[in-house]
Structures are given as C-alpha cells and as structure tokens.
Amino acid sequence: MSSPGIVLDQELLTAAVEAAGFMPADEGRALAEAALAAPDGPILEVGSYLGKSTLYLAAAARARGGKVVTVDHHRGSEEHQVGWEYHDPGLVDPHLGKIDTLPGFRRAIAAAGAEDVVVAVVARAEEFAALWAAPLAFLFLDGSHTDESAQRDLASWTPHLAAGGVLAIHDVFPDPADGGQAPYRIYRKALESGDYVELTGCGSLRLLRRSPAS
C-alpha cells in the first residue's frame, strides 16, 4: 500500500487527461487514486486501446515506484470494427485491412514519457492470464464489452487477484439506456460472489476489494 504523502505523478496525470480515449477525467482520476492506494504488488490492465487509461494507471505506478502491465491484442473491440459506433477508419492498418491500435498506443505512452513504467503485452487477455503467476494488487477490466469476452476476462484474471487487492471495472451501467450491460453483469457477478466488498467508485467506474478470506 502506498505510504502516506505519496501523490500521483502530475505530469502523467496531465498526459492522461489530454490523451485520446473515452474515459472521463473524473473516472480516470478515481482509477489512478484507487491504484495508488492499493496494496503492494503489480497493477494490471486488461484493454488499453490508445493508452488513456494506461496513463492514469502509470501516474499511480510511478508514484508507487512500480509498473503497470497492460494486455491488449490491439485489434479493437467489437464496437471498433467497420459499421459499429466507435469505428475509426484512421486506426485501420492499410496493409492488413484490420484495426491496429498498437502504433497509437505506443505513441501516447512515449509522448507522455511513460515507457519506463508501462509494460505492454500484445496478446489475448485470457491467453496471457494462463501464463501469469504473480498475485495482483490491482486489476482493471476494460476490454471488449460483449458478454462472452467480459465473462472470460473476469474468469481468467480474478483468480490472480490477491486477498485485499482491488478489482476495478469500467463502463458499468445499471440502466441499459446508458450503455452496454456486459460490464454491469460481471460487476454484479463479482459482488454477488461474496468475495468482494464495494469501495467508493465514480461514474461508470466500480471498485471492489477482495476479501481477505476469499
């Protein structure tokens, strides 16, 4: 856990606010503060897109004297594909005709001067989870928002969360009119398991602490 008086790295926090992406500034800061206050141990993010949320976590990681590990296949979620609401033609690799967010992600991390604290893994989250061994202090789930993939992320990564560690889930909307329901359903599943107690979140960001006995 961070020592009293440790504060977020302000340069990285500013870079996160200015970076391209979808996370509101108040939710991003809440994410960073929660990571800063988490127990000692690794911070891991599932789903990095162009690096906005990664930079919020990096602001905490640098202040803690640690790193943030982020895993993403960088081919985009369903909503980023052609014909979907969040499709950006500028992110399509002209040679392959596929979404590729890795170049934009790398530019954002480099421009912010965060390459020393960000460890980027290009892989499917569930495949990397099978190789991961260290107990996590902080786990942020913000990958693809289909039910199948959200449930898979929850099932593959939460076993790695240490007792007392924090699980953060983004885009949790109880009302379907506000957004997709997959993140809400994994949030409810985690909470109803009895393994977590809820912390104060912000907007669509939910924070759960794993119970010591779970």
Q: What is the pLDDT of residues 152-203, one digit of tens each?
A: 999 999 999 999 999 999 999 999 888 889 999 999 999 999 999 999 999 9
- Residue 125 in tokens: 């989250």
The pTM score is: 0.91
| Parent domain of 160 | 10-210
At 74 the pLDDT is 81
Residue 150 lies in a domain: yes
Give the pLDDT band of residue 212 (cuts 50, 70, 90): confident
Q: What is the mean pLDDT of residues 123-151?
A: 94
Residue 24 lies in a domain: yes
Q: What is the pLDDT of residues 61-98, one digit of tens each?
A: 999 999 999 999 887 666 655 554 655 666 676 776 67
Helices (H) and strands (E) in the chain, counts: 7, 9
Residue 3 lies in a domain: no
Residue 93 lies in a domain: yes
More reliable by pLDDT, 37 or 177: 37
Residue 5 lies in a domain: no
Residue 204 lies in a domain: yes
Q: What is the pLDDT of residues 115-136, one digit of tens each?
A: 999 999 999 999 999 999 999 9
Q: What is the mean pLDDT of residues 91-108?
A: 81
At 95 the pLDDT is 72
- Catalytically active residues, by annotation: 145
Residue 183 lies in a domain: yes
At 3 the pLDDT is 57
At 105 the pLDDT is 95
Q: What CATH number is associated with residue 109? A: 3.40.50.150
The total domain count for the chain is 1
| pLDDT above 80 for 2 | no
Task: Please give the C-alpha separations between residue 61 and each of 42, 90, 132, 138, 168, in angstroms, as whole numbers.
Answer: 9, 30, 19, 11, 15
Task: Please give the C-alpha separations between residue 15 and each of 9, 37, 72, 116, in angstroms, as whole numbers.
Answer: 10, 21, 20, 15
At 76 the pLDDT is 65
Residue 201 lies in a domain: yes
**CB atoms inside a 10 Å sphere around CB 152:** 18
At 24 the pLDDT is 96
205 Cβ partners below 8 Å, 6+ apart? 27, 30, 31, 168, 169, 170, 172
SS3 99: strand
